[in-house]
A and B are shown apart, each in its own frame.
Chain A
């Protein structure tokens, strides 16, 4: 188990402040954030390439904060994979065992098993320069795992790959994790990748941890406006709390001219933001009555076909307020939508709304 408590680090003028998270054995934790958010600094502090200025990093109950890198029992797959170009694939895979002076019998069975699982048996004699992108990824993963680390750190290793290969490797990573019970910490800026691979997600912005929790909670209930913006949610509307009772609030949203009943605690008069993910906004037939717990708006919408789905932006009133939605291909066909502007009716289900304090 990895436990990070109050970790602070400095890289030049950049400060990483008070990071706390834990990764249970056999779980994957994604550290998500835009570039310059401190993801790499956090990774460097866990790896030991950057000293922590405060806080503790524990792995399996052992304080590793001040340990040299080679004693931390970490596996590391950097963005550019870090394969040794002067060594063959097999020499890359055996690097760890040779550095630790292990006997063949101590690591060969595990190596053989990993090579078989990842299907790289035919590559062992090859030079690194002759491998394809996908082959390199597999070799880098196996090399990190042969050392039998307690935690594997993945620093955006799939970023440079095409979509198809990325998905193939995500599945491979999932299979490897299930097969070997791997504990993973993934650093990425890609929400889809984080959601696919991780059980828990921490969002870092500006060197601070803005949210930490199960992936569903982070995805559906962003804690701050910055997190929501980073996660691509532009449907954020200012509102004020009108009533509050028994774990529920009623919030008046002036721009949408609606009152929403939302779960949570706040004081009447508190200013909040109400939001919804674009894919939770539903299209409705113009004459369809609202379902219970739904609010309906009609207006001019602008649609852009994105292939797998369509991005629709509904303008309310004079266009100052916009509701964005991600519409499935099936819905595009069902409502006979096409590129350009047209009238649509949309519904916001209250159950899918989230809110956060303003300021």
Chain B
């Protein structure tokens, strides 16, 4: 793309570069405290590897579960009018409005009411365990997943689905052979971005699962625990691991979105 002359000097461009420099500067500043000798030791310690494995497993499971519910929900919001549609669309913003800590506290309080206690005793025990981490992340990312998938489905013209139906395809066949393939890029981007958000989730996880080493210590919790014990160098290593994983996911998402079109 050809740039208009003098675009590099425009205040808006300067502002955009300032945004980049704020985040890049913060990340680069971490290296001030990076101890190369400690890097390998911290990175490959049993506790760090446990945190990485726990974070990957919980984020992946939470994302898969969220998408399993989000795909049909987003499709319904994109294609159908039904009572409660507007309320559903509004509530998607709930995890954004309410802070993650409050969201986690709401979950924790829920498990102290009779229904919550019954669920914990008879179905799955969530509080202070792996299931609690997954649940906290699931609740945090569900709204985002639905919103992103709805946007992806909105992009698929309904005419294509109508034509497919007239060609003899059942609604299910149309969904899997027309709608989903055409929303593929949006679907993959939704998976990666919600996964990255789940990976970095802290507030709700802390409330529901607590901060127990080698048990509920996801990477963000591990960062919090190391910083609490004034282990700056260890904290920096874990932050860099989290940043590397998150940024990689974001770059893949951007690449997929930029690729656009239809494979």
Listed in ascending order, the chain A residues whose CB lies under 8 Å from chain B are 47-49, 68-70, 72, 74-76, 78-80, 82, 84-86, 95-96, 99-100, 129, 143-144, 147, 149, 153
Contact = CB atoms under 8 A, between A and B. Distances in A.
17 contacts: A69-B165, A70-B165, A70-B166, A72-B166, A74-B166, A75-B166, A76-B162, A78-B159, A78-B162, A82-B157, A84-B182, A85-B261, A96-B167, A96-B169, A99-B164, A143-B167, A147-B168
Contacts of B177: 95, 99
Given A47-B166, A70-B165, A86 B157 contact: no
B167 A99 contact: yes
A95 B167 contact: yes
B163 A78 contact: yes
Given A76-B162, A82-B159, A84-B160, A95 B262 contact: no
B21 interface: no
Given A85-B262, A99-B173, A147-B168, A69 B162 contact: yes
B168 A82 contact: no
Contacts of B170: 70, 99
Interface in B234-263: 261-263
Contacts of B184: 86
A128 B177 CA distance: 16
Contacts of B181: 86
A85 B261 CA distance: 9
B169 A49 contact: no
B162 A86 contact: no
B178 interface: yes
B182 A86 contact: yes
B169 A99 contact: yes
A78 B184 CA distance: 24
Interface in B175-191: 177-178, 181-182, 184
A116 B181 CA distance: 30
A325 B163 CA distance: 43
Q: Which of B162, B163, B182, B262 gathers most chain A CB within 10 Å?
A: B163
A49 B160 contact: no
Interface string B133-159: 000000000000000000000000101
Q: Which of A78, A79, A80 gathers most chain B CB within 10 Å?
A: A78
A72 B165 CA distance: 10
Given A80-B159, A82-B159, A99 B166 contact: no
A86 B170 CA distance: 19
Given A76-B162, A147-B168, 19 more contacts: A68-B165, A69-B162, A69-B166, A70-B165, A70-B167, A70-B168, A76-B166, A78-B162, A80-B159, A85-B262, A86-B184, A95-B169, A95-B177, A96-B169, A99-B167, A99-B168, A129-B262, A143-B167, A149-B166
A129 B261 contact: yes
Nearest to A72: B166
B165 A82 contact: no
A149 B169 CA distance: 14
A80 B162 contact: no
A302 B162 CA distance: 49
Contacts of B162: 47, 49, 69, 76, 78, 82
Nearest to A102: B168
A48 B162 CA distance: 9
A96 B157 contact: no
A76 B163 contact: yes
Contact of B168 (A47, A86, A96, A129): A96
A147 B167 contact: yes
Contacts of B167: 70, 95-96, 99, 143-144, 147
Interface string B20-36: 00000000000000000
A95 B177 CA distance: 9
B8 to A, nearest CB: 35
Contacts of A74: 166
A106 to B, nearest CB: 13
B263 A86 contact: yes
A149 to B, nearest CB: 8
Nearest to A78: B159
The 7 A-B residue pairs whose C-beta atoms are closest, nearest first, are A82-B163, A99-B169, A69-B165, A96-B167, A76-B166, A86-B262, A100-B168
Nearest to A91: B177
Given A84-B178, A86-B263, A95 B157 contact: no
Contact of A95 (B164, B182, B261, B263): B164
A344 B170 CA distance: 65
A70 B182 contact: no
B40 to A, nearest CB: 46
A175 B165 CA distance: 27
A73 B117 CA distance: 54
Nearest to B167: A96
A144 B165 CA distance: 11
Nearest to B163: A82
Nearest to B178: A84
Q: Which of A79, A99, A144 gathers most chain B CB within 10 Å?
A: A99
A347 B93 CA distance: 71
